[in-house]
Chain A
Amino acid sequence: MDLTILILQGVIVAATPLLFAAIGELVVERAGVLNLGVEGMMIIGAVAGFSVTLETGSHMMGILAAMLGGMVFACLFGFLTQVLMSNQVATGLSLTIFGLGIAALWGQAYSGMTTEPLAKLDIPGLTSIPIIGPLLLSHDILVYMSIGLTIGVGWFLSKTRPGLILRAVGENHDAAHAIGYNVVGVRMLAIMFGGACAGLGGAYLSMVQTPLWVENMTAGRGWIALAIVVFAAWKPNRALLGAYLFGGVTVLQLHAQGFGVKIDAQYLSMLPYLVTIGVLVVISRDKTKANLNAPACLAKSFYASS
């Protein structure tokens, strides 16, 4: 029983950074923008969070720095794609390459150092409840924040007027512009939100999961976050499911050998990617249904002709 709880706790730790990044990217894509730079913004968040925590001794400052770092990088992407109307695929990709490089330069001085991991919030009396306590009530604040963020984004997109405007911009930017919405402004805000979320995801890696700085420590998680958004068919609650599924598989492959499962770890690692392709095929097979799911203006540049 203890081992099961330990594994489930591991799943939560593995899923949280994916959830942050995926929820951020989900909002960006709902606004009609495809930012392939998630990995780059995550690694910036990781190095910013770690180095600021180390220098100031405050986890709060580290978290803020990670969000800010991700946001600054997102603004770079936003300026190029929204103001200068550059190609989103190419710009996002260079953001990833650039971010990995800058993070390596920035983190060189911190290589191999460690900090105190972010404290777990113990709720007196409740955390000691067997099973439920360690599983649900003994995590750091970021885990709860990620869940709250998912619920909040879901509510924002489906129940509020600004959420409706954001979706309108993503579905038909010309129509949204014609009724007077500021397409570029809305998209910039979405992109910045996405950057802050990716930064948080990165910070979770370097401040909680493994509280140290290593070059390339995001190790492709930004790309997995992009896959989760598609897996989730652009719906926040399904992104939660996706993040925990992908996180679960990563943890499972660590323990599979321990259970005496005679299967190469690599095959398990392939599983999430193959499942994502499968989901993508299912949701795009029917063109009308696909149009209901994917934002219609995804990755298209907007030019205000009047």
Chain B
Amino acid sequence: MLRLEPRKEVSQPMLYATPVMAVALTIAAGMIMFLAMGEDPVRAISIIFFDPLFDSFSITEMVVKATPLILIAIGLSFGFRAGVWNIGAEGQFTIGAVTGGSVALIFWEVEGFWVLPLMSTAGILGGMAWAAIPAFLRTRFNANEILVSLMLTYVAILVLSVMTHGILRDPDGYNFPESRLFHDSATLPILIEGTRAHVGFIVALLVVATAWVLLARHIIGFQIKVMGQAPHAARFGGFLESRVVWLCLMISGGLAGLAGLFEAAGPVGQLVPSLPVGYGFTAIIVAFLGRLNPIGILFSGFVMALTYIGGESAQIEMNLPSAITGVFQGMLLFFLLGIDVLAKYRIRWARQYASMEKG
């Protein structure tokens, strides 16, 4: 019989090897799945996982998709390290787009370098305000933040719907539920002419660097780690639990709000009810796949963006539903979580284990 024996310390090499193994296993399982469906497995996998990597336009599209994923996942990783489960990033993303987008519409056709920074600030504050609700209810009333933040996601999507059907609707838009198109000063500058990759990606890179410094070198990062790994020690150490909860939810809410504003002011260019497309949920996978480590998240953000682009190619070239993206994203996390056991535990034969105990 196989038996799992806990390791004294989490195996560091395993921690880095498992994401790579998970990607490899996902590709292998994908090939088996395509074989079962009667598709050419090599062709299908290369369309989804390899072709986009050698096409310059696809790479810029990956940057477009990776930007919100990285921004949100970095924020979430703080909370996940501390055991604060914000799974409502999708809602904070949506509210950030509403508040930041409202600023763009208030100053419609007003030119100025200050418009975008003001919009970004409003987006961050909007996301923070939405995340403040679960933070307040958890610290004041002990209400579970997983459920509160999740419920608020649906409320947020409805708020966006009310806004785009109501006061933010384009007055010249023939009653379509969408806002005016943002004017030039309210649209994110494009990085490479002719693509949709925008400066939000540069901001995401800066956020990655800042998060790395905070976690590796700052007292805040230390408090967050202790809080997650040893809550009792954290209490004896005098760290206030409520402070850490607030901090984590403000960071993740703010970054999700910023990501939402970037989506509205970037690739979409206006507020539409269909703005939230699930980045807030996918970012949770990104955070885990990146081992809650900022540099890891940068890479996993791109891996996850690849599954989106690959899914779109599969839809166009093989007539598969784009939901195939979800199949690969789900498998990726299943494999990662499954083989994670190798980092935390050692596999032993039970008999050997028993004889060791005697000896």
User: Which residues of A come within 8 Å of B, CB atoms?
Assistant: 34, 36, 40, 76, 80, 84-87, 89-91, 93-95, 97-105, 108, 215, 220, 223, 226-227, 230, 264, 266-267, 269-270, 273-274, 276-277, 280-281, 284-285, 287, 290, 294, 303
User: Which residues of B come within 8 Å of A, CB atoms?
Assistant: 4, 6, 37, 85, 87, 137, 141-144, 146-148, 150-152, 154-155, 158-159, 161-162, 165-166, 281-282, 284-285, 288, 320-321, 323-331, 333-334, 337-338, 340-341, 344-345
14 inter-chain pairs at a CB distance below 8 angstroms, sorted by A residue, are A34-B146, A36-B87, A85-B344, A85-B345, A97-B329, A98-B329, A101-B323, A102-B330, A266-B158, A266-B162, A270-B158, A273-B155, A285-B141, A294-B144
**B148 adjacent to A277 (CB under 8 Å):** yes
CA distance A75 to B333 in the complex (A): 16
CA distance A220 to B154 in the complex (A): 9
CA distance A76 to B333 in the complex (A): 12
- Main SS at interface, chain B: helix
Q: Give A305 Cβ to nearest chain B Cβ, in Å.
A: 8
**B330 adjacent to A287 (CB under 8 Å):** no
Nearest A residue to B278 via CB reads A97
CA distance A36 to B285 in the complex (A): 14
CA distance A77 to B186 in the complex (A): 45
Nearest B residue to A268 via CB reads B158
Nearest B residue to A89 via CB reads B85
Q: Which residues of A contact B288 (CB under 8 A)?
A: 87, 90
**A284 adjacent to B141 (CB under 8 Å):** yes
Q: Which residues of A contact B166 (CB under 8 A)?
A: 264
Q: Which residues of A contact B155 (CB under 8 A)?
A: 270, 273-274
Q: Which residues of B contact A91 (CB under 8 A)?
A: 333-334, 337
Q: With A277-B143, A285-B142 in contact, is A100–B165 under 8 Å at CB?
A: no
**B147 adjacent to A101 (CB under 8 Å):** no
Q: Give A89 Cβ to nearest chain B Cβ, in Å.
A: 6
Given contacts A97-B329, A103-B323, A287-B142, 18 further A-B contacts (CB under 8 A): A80-B334, A84-B340, A90-B288, A93-B87, A93-B284, A93-B333, A99-B330, A101-B324, A101-B325, A101-B328, A105-B321, A215-B321, A227-B150, A266-B162, A273-B154, A274-B151, A281-B143, A294-B144
